[in-house]
Amino acid sequence: MKMPLFTKATAWLPALILAIVIPPMAGGYLVSMLILICIWTIMCFSLNIIYGYTGQLSLGQAAFFGIGAYAFGLLTVKVNMGFWPAFFASVFIAGLSGFLIGIPALKLRGPYFILVTLGFSVIVGVVLVAWVDLTGGANGLAGMPRPSPVPLPWGGRLTFDSLLPMYYFTLFFLVLIMVFSHRLINSLIGRRFIAISYNEDLTESLGIDTMSTKILSFTISAIMAGIAGVLYASYNVVISPEMAYFARGMDVVAYLVVGGAGTMAGPILGTLVLMAVPELLQVIPSLKTMINGIILMLFLIFLPSGISGGFKALKGRIIRSRTSPYAGS
Amino acid sequence: MVTAVEFCQYILNGISQGCIYILLASGLTLVFGILNVPNFAQGHLYMIGAYFGFYMVMSFGMNYWMALILATMALAFLGLLLYKFIFYPMRDVPEVNLFVAAMALLMIIEGAALFFFGTETKWFVVPYSRHVVTFGPFALPLQRIIVILGTLVVMIALQIFIKKTMIGATLEATAQQREGAMLCGIKVTSVSALAFMIGTGLAGIAGVLIGPAVLLEPTMGMGPLLVAFSAVVFGGMGSIAGAVLGAFILGLVESLASGYISATYSLTFVFGIMILTLLFRPKGLLGREVWRP
C-alpha cells in the first residue's frame, strides 16, 4: 500500500508549529484569548476521557476545575507554598476528589450518573460561595503566583510574568495532555474505556472489571480538569466561584460535542470554534450562550459526531472511492 | 410554644415550596417516562411561562386567570414545536445525546431570555398577590395559597386524565412498554408529542402561578429545576406519584433546612439527599422496573 503523504501525524506537526509561531506576532488580546482556549481545551480533553472514550457523560468537570483552582489558591495564598509543590498538591486533591466521587457515582448509569455529577458540581459551587472564611465567598481569592522561573540551559531564566511565556506554559501542558491522552487511548486501558462506552455489560462479561476501569477513567479526567483549574488560577491571578459554576461544565460538553467526542482533534476544534465564533461576531455575553446553544443543537441534529467526525466521514467517502475500505484507518 | 409554631410555619412554607417543585417535577417525569428525555430545559420553560404571564398581565392588562390559560396554551404549543423540530428528529440517537440536546435548549433559552427580558429582576404584581393571609399564629401570602390550590387542581386533573381517559391510557401504555404500545396500534409519535406538550404546558402553569410569589429573572428556573430533578430521581424516574412525593419531601427538607440550619446550604441538603437515595435505592422511592428497563 502506498504511504499517503498527508497522514494524521503529519497534520499535527503544522498545527503545533502554527500554535508556536503565530502568538508572538499577534497582539496581547489574542494571546490572552489563546491561553483561555488552551485551558478550556485541556478541560475538553478531560471530559473526552470520561465521556468521549468511556461514554459516561459528566457535568461535574467544572467542579474539579474549581477544586484544582481553589486548592492551588489556598495552598499558595494561605499556606504560602511554592508554585510547584502547590501545583502537584492541588492536582492530587482534584484527582482524589474525582476518585472519591467516582466510587459511588459510577455505580449509576445513564441519566442518573449525569445527575449525580451535576449535583456534585452544584454542591461544590454552593460551598465555594457559602464558606466565606475559607474561600472568600463570592469575592473569590486573589494573589496566586505565576509559575516560578525556569532556569534555561544557556544561562538566564525563563520568567512567566508576561502573557507570551504564560501562553507557552499552558500550551506545553496542553501538548503534554494530548500526548498522554493519545498514549492512554491506544493502550490496553484505553481499549477498555472504549469497550465500556460501546457495551458495559458485554465488557464485564469478558472479565474486565468495568467499575474500577470507570473509576480510573473518572480519576484521570478529574486530574486533567484539576490541571486546567490550576493553570487558570495561575494565569488569571484571581479566582471566583463562577468558574466552578455548573454552567461551565455544560460549556465544556458543548465544546466537546461540537468538536467531536472520542477523537483527538475534537476538543481542539470544538473549543476553537465555539470560543472564536462569538468573539469574531463581537456579540454581548448573553448572546454568546445562545449562539453556542444553537451551534450545539445544530450539530446534535445534523452531525452528532461533531466537526472531526464530519471530516472523517468526508475523508472516508473520498478514500472509499479510491482504495480499499480500510485504507483510512 | 414558639418553637412548635415556628416548626408548623416552616412546614407550611415547605408545602407551598413543594408545590412549585411538584408542578415542575411532574412535567419532567412525564416527559422522561415517555420520551426518555431528561428535559433539562423545563426550568427555563417555566421561566418563559412566568415572563409570558408577566407581559400579559402587566403590559396588556389581561386578567390573571386568562393569562394563566393563555400561557399554558402558548407553552404547550412551544412544546409541540420543540418536539417536532428537535426531539422528534433525534428519536433514534443514544440517550446521552438527548440530554445534551436538552442542555443546548437550556443554553439557547437562557441566552435569549437574558437578551430579550434583560438581567434586571421584574416584579410580577397581581392585585392580590401581596395580600397575606393569617390564620392563628400562621401567615402565608395569598399567592402561595393560590399556588397550593392550583397545584392540587392541576395534579388531580392530570391524574384523572391519565387514569380515566383513553388518551391518558395511551400515555401510560407508551411509558410502560413503547413497542407493546405500538403493537396495540397506539401512534407513539403523537403520544410523545402530547406528553411533551403536557410537560411544557405544566411549566407554563407553574410559571404563571408561581411568578407573582417570586421575583422574575432569566435565571430563575435553574434552582427549582435542580430541586425538581432531584425530586424526580428521589421518587423514581418516570413515576408521577414518585415525583409528587419526592417534590413534597424535598420542599419540606429545603424549608426545614433553611429554617434550622442554613439557607445558603439548603440546596446542598437537597442534592445530598438525591445522591444518597441513588446510592441506596438506585430506582428511587417509587421507581419501578416497568417504567424504564
Q: Please provide the CATH number assigned to the domain covering A8-148+158-320.
A: 1.10.3470
Average of pLDDT values for A23-44? 85
> Could you read off the pLDDT of A128-155 as tens digits, one per residue?
888 877 777 777 777 777 777 766 666 6
- Taking one residue from A and the other from B, the number of pairs with CB-CB distance under 8 angstroms is 125
CA angle, corner B217, sides to B214 and B220, nearest 5? 70
Tell me the chain A residues in contact with residue B278 when contact means C-beta distances shorter than 8 Å.
Answer: 108, 112, 115-116
Examine the pLDDT at B278 and tell me if it is beyond 60: yes
Domain that holds residue B199: 2-280
Nearest to B115 among A51, A290, A301 (CB): A290
B-interface mutation test, from A120, A126, A290, A305, most B Cβ less than 10 A away: A290
User: Does the beta-carbon distance from A297 to B106 stay under 8 Å?
Assistant: no
User: Does the beta-carbon distance from B279 to A107 stay under 8 Å?
Assistant: yes
A-interface mutation test, from B96, B230, B273, B292, most A Cβ less than 10 A away: B96
Strand partners, B100: none
pLDDT score of A65: 93
Q: Is residue B287 part of a domain?
A: no
Q: Which range is least confidently modeled, A105-119, B2-16, B125-139, B246-260?
A: B125-139
Average of pLDDT values for B127-145? 76
pLDDT band at A39 (very low <50, low <70, confident <90, very high): very high
Q: Which range is least confidently modeled, A311-320, B115-124, B156-165?
A: A311-320
User: Does the beta-carbon distance from B229 to A115 stay under 8 Å?
Assistant: yes
Task: Pick the more confident residue, B156 or A108.
Answer: B156
Q: State residue B122 phi and psi, 5-degree precision.
A: -115, 155
User: Does the beta-carbon distance from A116 to B264 stay under 8 Å?
Assistant: no
Average of pLDDT values for A219-245? 88
Kindly report the CATH number assigned to the domain that includes residue B96: 1.10.3470
Task: Pick the more confident residue, A40 or B257.
Answer: A40
pLDDT score of A325: 47
pLDDT score of A40: 92
Domains held by chain B: number = 1
Nearest to A119 among B96, B237, B274 (CB): B274
pLDDT band at A228 (very low <50, low <70, confident <90, very high): very high
Task: Pick the more confident residue, A246 or A57.
Answer: A57
What mean pLDDT is reported for chain A? 83
pLDDT score of A89: 93
What is the rounded CA–CA span in Å between residue A259 and residue A271? 7
Examine the pLDDT at A3 and tell me if it is beyond 60: no
Using left for φ > 0, alpha for ψ between -120 and 50, and beta otherwise, residue A152 falls in: beta
User: Does the beta-carbon distance from A104 to B275 stay under 8 Å?
Assistant: yes
CA–CA distance from A38 to each of A35, A64, A89, B266, B282 (Å)? 5, 17, 22, 36, 38
**Do the Cβ atoms of B42 and B28 come closer than 8 Å?**
yes
What is the rounded CA–CA span in Å between residue A286 and residue B161? 40
**One-letter amino acid of A30:** L
Provide the shortest C-alpha distance from residue B1 to chain A (in Å).
Answer: 32
B261 at A interface, C-beta within 8 A: no
Nearest to B114 among A51, A104, A286 (CB): A286
Tell me the chain A residues in contact with residue B230 when contact means C-beta distances shorter than 8 Å.
Answer: 115, 119
User: Does the beta-carbon distance from B264 to A130 stay under 8 Å?
Assistant: yes
User: Does the beta-carbon distance from B268 to A290 stay under 8 Å?
Assistant: no
pLDDT score of A95: 94
pLDDT score of A263: 85
User: Does the beta-carbon distance from B95 to A108 stay under 8 Å?
Assistant: no
Q: Is residue B109 part of a domain?
A: yes
**Do the Cβ atoms of B284 and B236 come closer than 8 Å?**
yes
User: Does the beta-carbon distance from B279 to A284 stay under 8 Å?
Assistant: no
Q: State residue B135 phi and psi, 5-degree precision.
A: -135, 115
What is the rounded CA–CA span in Å between residue A40 and residue A224? 11
- Provide the residue ranges of all domains of chain A, joining segments of one domain with +: 8-148+158-320
Q: What letter would DSSP give residue A217?
A: H
Provide the shortest C-alpha distance from residue A232 to chain B (in Å).
Answer: 24
Tell me the chain A residues in contact with residue B265 when contact means C-beta distances shorter than 8 Å.
Answer: 126, 130
pLDDT band at A223 (very low <50, low <70, confident <90, very high): very high
Nearest to B97 among A116, A120, A300 (CB): A300
**Do the Cβ atoms of A279 and A291 come closer than 8 Å?**
no
Q: Which residues contact A311 (CB under 8 A, 6 or more apart)?
A: A265
Tell me the chain B residues in contact with residue A287 when contact means C-beta distances shorter than 8 Å.
Answer: 111, 115
Q: Is residue B103 part of a domain?
A: yes
B-interface mutation test, from A123, A256, A302, most B Cβ less than 10 A away: A123
pLDDT band at B291 (very low <50, low <70, confident <90, very high): very low
